[in-house]
Amino acid sequence: MEPTTGEPESLEKVVLSLENDEAETLWAERVNHGIYRLRNVPIFAFGYSEGDIVSTVERDGRQVVTGTHTGGGHSTYRIIFPEKTIGEQFKRLWEPLVKLGCTYERASGRMIGVHVPPSTNIHAVYAVLERGEQEGYWIFEEGHCGHPLCNVQ
């Protein structure tokens, strides 16, 4: 998976632990010793988004994420497509999310991670995702909502 921003040469890999002793590796920009800014979409991990600043510890020569140092205000969703959603249909369905400022990274032919930048209206994005699910085009889940309205107590 390539980072959505930055040059790969200036970035390092960090590891997010998943369930069942699995892990997801992401590109990150070193901010300080043990502190990194995530530079691509965490597709499988919950609780993180591109732009978050995370704390890490070194284990076996790898930087393993231990938690969020500072949230970046970004959000992440996963879309899983049924086999019938392909090519041109995807482009048509994706267009409203592009207009809202979203980008994506592909995990597989049937799954993408959606990056929602802080300036994007998160409620409008959620409405598009819900509509696509209700119409049977995809199933979606929230990986992390970092927008300020999501964190109101």
61 and 86, same domain (yes or no): no
63 and 131, same domain (yes or no): no
pLDDT digits (tens, 9 = 90+) for 17-28: 998 889 999 999
pLDDT digits (tens, 9 = 90+) for 33-61: 999 999 999 999 999 999 999 999 999 99
**Is the pLDDT higher at 142 or at 150?**
142
pLDDT digits (tens, 9 = 90+) for 132-146: 999 888 999 999 999
81 and 147, same domain (yes or no): yes
Chain centroid to CA 141: how far?
A: 11
Overall number of domains in the chain: 2
87 and 45, same domain (yes or no): no
Structural domain harbouring 38:
8-70
Please, are residues 17 and 64 in contact by the beta-carbon 8 Å criterion? yes
25 and 47, same domain (yes or no): yes
Q: Is 2 a residue whose pLDDT tops 50? A: no
47 and 89, same domain (yes or no): no
61 and 81, same domain (yes or no): no
81 and 140, same domain (yes or no): yes
What b-and-e string marks burial along 98-108, b requiring 16 or more CB atoms within 10 Å of the CB? eebebbbbebe
Region of poorest pLDDT, from 13-22, 88-97, 116-125, 128-137: 88-97
